[in-house]
Amino acid sequence: MPMSSVFERRLTEEISKTRTELIKWMFIFRAGQIIVLVAVLSLFFKR
């Protein structure tokens, strides 16, 4: 097995793992932003 194919497979695995981590944290961040926005708007419109 050539060294380049081993390297390519490891690189591909690492990129996909990093990508899924990034998507997970983006979702958590956006969900938190929406929760805070809804809370602020509900406080604002209750007055």
Write out pLDDT tens, residues 6-30: 889 999 999 999 999 999 999 999 9
Number of domains into which the chain is organized:
1
d(CA 27, CA 20): 11
Torsion of the alpha carbons at 9, 10, 15 and 17, rounded to the nearest 10: 110
Confidence band of 3 (pLDDT split at 50, 70, 90): confident
Looking at the chain, the number of H-run helices and the number of E-run strands are: 1, 0
* Containing structural domain, residue 30: 1-47
**Cα→Cα distances 46→23, 40, 41, 42, Å:** 35, 10, 9, 6
